[in-house]
Every structure is written in structure tokens, then in C-alpha cells.
Structure 1
């Protein structure tokens, strides 16, 4: 027998969670689906869907199982990601239902049409983003603004608070890999700090009193 799962992306708003549950339960009753097993997720929708409970649920669901979500915004923040999720479900034989929007991703012709339309929307969305980015860069360039990351040292670096320790280790002749271990950071983090703060490779010279 196919199982029914309900995906809830939980926020700090208890009323919002209650509304999601109510919408999903009502949809399941209307569509004569089994009572759903609720799976809650506290991770932000900005995170990749594969790393959220949603991704784990899709990978763990069997062919013919159903996943119900209250609305599209609970799946992802972009049309492209929604399309990816829908295609993943179709390829795995998992049926994805979006209650509020009445969208279903399964092996029916209607679902295939929806997938094609979303694919076109995602393509248009990418083009708009690309176009806006190019226009913004061109405008900045025309106004004489330099593009790219500003050259020069960052105001605050992670290891600034350990500057005296690092200088002391360098004076004692401790190698950089060992210094990184003593500071509990990766060697690359230390190398980047030295490149900016100690370009000569030597400890800072104390200022005269």
C-alpha cells in the first residue's frame, strides 16, 4: 500500500504551521488519500532542497508513495528548484501534490504539461536574472565604478584576534601547519591571513614606546 507523507516547513509562527497542517489534511480528505505522516523541517527554504528533510523524504519514499505540501513556497524559493523537485519525484515514481495550487507531479499527461510549462518559466526566469545582472554591471561600468572585489585588506579577518599569538609562534620558528593546528583553523585560513597581514612573512614589528 502506498504511503502518504506531508512536508511542513516549520517557522516560528505557530499559526502558520497550523494552517499548513489544516490545508494538507483537508486536501487529503478531498482527494481520498490516506492520513498523512507529517515530516517537519526547520531549515530555511534558501538551503538546497536536497540537504533538507524534503530531499531525504523524496529519496526514502517508495514508488507510488505520495508527498503533499501545502503550497509551492514551502518547496523552494525559485521556479527552477520547484521544477527540479518535481522532476526528481517523477523519475522516482513518487507523486508530489501541492495542495493550495492544485499542482501534481506524477506520470500523467497533465503533469508532463505542467513540467514543460514550469521549465519554460524557469528558463525565462534565468534569462531575466542574467539580463538584470548584465545591465547593472554595464551601468556601474558606465558610471566609472570599479567592478569586482575591492583590492586591499579586509577590515576584519578571522585571525586578527590571534595576531599576537601568531607573531609569537613565528618568532619561535614554529612552522605554519603547526600554528594552524594550535589555533584550530585550516592551514589555508592561516596562509590567507599571513598574506594580508604579514606579507613579508615575518611577525609584526612592535611600535616604539
Structure 2
């Protein structure tokens, strides 16, 4: 390449609106380059999918003393006054862009609400964003094998409470005052329990009968209940 610049590594990729920065090849390169290195791009707009992401990359480079050069605009940005002014201008444009997006979103929500349409996903429908939804079969298998919930939560990198709420949602039976609504696909608590029973013929849980029910059924009370009565 001209200007006496030596290229150590080439990266070719297409900027997609569906990919975040950490999933791009550019992020792997940014983690390796050091202060004094140069990052050369075809044009500034190729750095990110929006102005806000581009500003973030510019700040990243300036903080680490990395020079950024563009071929089309012929920019050579570093940790100097001119580069900071340009980065500030881009940051202002990014802030305006973000505010416009937020305003359009609010207007769209208000319009839908005025039309009488419900906001958000339908009540009871399983969200595609739930982190554990794609691991549902694995989680049920682990529970049937007797693996503690704390260990399962650690395996899938979630809190134990998150796992418990997810399991309550699957079984459509929260322990709170309001029962969980049935899923849109028709799954009910009984269907969930049948599924567990099929995968685990000998369930680990058993139903404890009330001592009065045992007496009515003609069964003998347990030793624990006899000891409790003796103490009384």
C-alpha cells in the first residue's frame, strides 16, 4: 500500500443491522491492536451500523492511542484536537439520531394505544427473548435426573430465581396469588406434569397426606405425628 504503510492483517465483512459489535470480526481485531497501531477502513460509515456505534469506536481508538485512517474521506484521526472536535460532532449527530428514534417510537406506541391495540406481547405467550426457552428440554431432563436447581442455573448462567420463574411459567402454576396464564400454544400444567412423568417413571416428589385424611382413610399415622402428639 502507498504512503509507506505496511498492512499486517486484512479483514473483510459486511456491516449488518442484526449484528452487534461484539459479534463482528472488527471487535476481535480491536481487542488485539495496541497503542501506536493504525486501523484503516474504506470509509467511516463502514465502522458501525449507526452513528452511535461509530462514535463508540472512535472514542475507543482515541483512548488507546490508536490511529484511525479512512480511504474515502481521507481522515487521519488520532488523539489530537482536530480528531476530538470531529468525534464531538459525530457524537452530537448520534445523540440527535437517538433522540429522533426515541421520539418516533413513543409516537408509534401512542398511536397504537389510541387505536385500542394492546402494547407488548400477548398475555401468556412465551417470549422469544427468554434466555432459557431454547434450553427447555435440557432443563427438564436435568430436573428429572435430580440435578439441583442452583447447579442448573449456574450451568445456563442465570440466577436461581430466574430458573424458578421459568419453570413456574412452563408448568403454568405460580405459587403466588395470581396463577400464571396458559401459553398461547395450549400448554397446561397437567400436560407439563405428564411430560415429566413420561421422562421420569419414578418421580422424586411425593404427595404428603394430612394426618386427618389418613385417619379417615384408615391409615396409621406416621411416627413423626405420633411423637408430636406425645409432646403435646
Deviation of 1:60 after TM superposition, in Å, equals 2.1
> Is 1:100 the counterpart of 2:77 in the alignment?
no
Asked which structure has the greater CA Rg, the reply is: 2
Q: Extract unaligned runs of 5+ from structure 1.
A: 1-27
Q: Extract unaligned runs of 5+ from structure 2.
A: 173-181, 196-232
Equivalent residue for 2:40, pick from 43, 64, 68: 68
SS in 2 for 1:67: strand
**TM, length-normalised to structure 2:** 0.57
Aligned counterparts, 1:50-199, within 5 A: 50-154=22-126, 188=163, 191-195=168-172, 196=182, 197-199=187-189
Deviation of 1:160 after TM superposition, in Å, equals 9.0
Match of 1:6 in 2: none
- More displaced 10-residue stretch of structure 1: 102-111 or 84-93: 102-111
> Is 1:39 the counterpart of 2:10 in the alignment?
yes
1:71-98 alpha-carbon deviations (Å, 9 max, x no partner)? 2343110101100001100000000112
- How big is the alpha-carbon RMSD for the aligned residues of Structure 1 and Structure 2? 3.7
Figure out how many residues of one structure are paired with residues of the other and give that number.
165
Distance 1:139 1:49 in 2: 32
1:83-114 alpha-carbon deviations (Å, 9 max, x no partner)? 00011000000001121133332123221111
Q: Which has the higher strand share?
A: 1
Distance 2:135 2:80 in 1: 57
Change (3 A) 1:53 1:159: closer
Structure number with higher relative contact order (C-alpha < 8 Å, ≥ 6 residues apart): 1
Change (3 A) 1:153 1:67: closer
Distance 1:154 1:129 in 2: 27
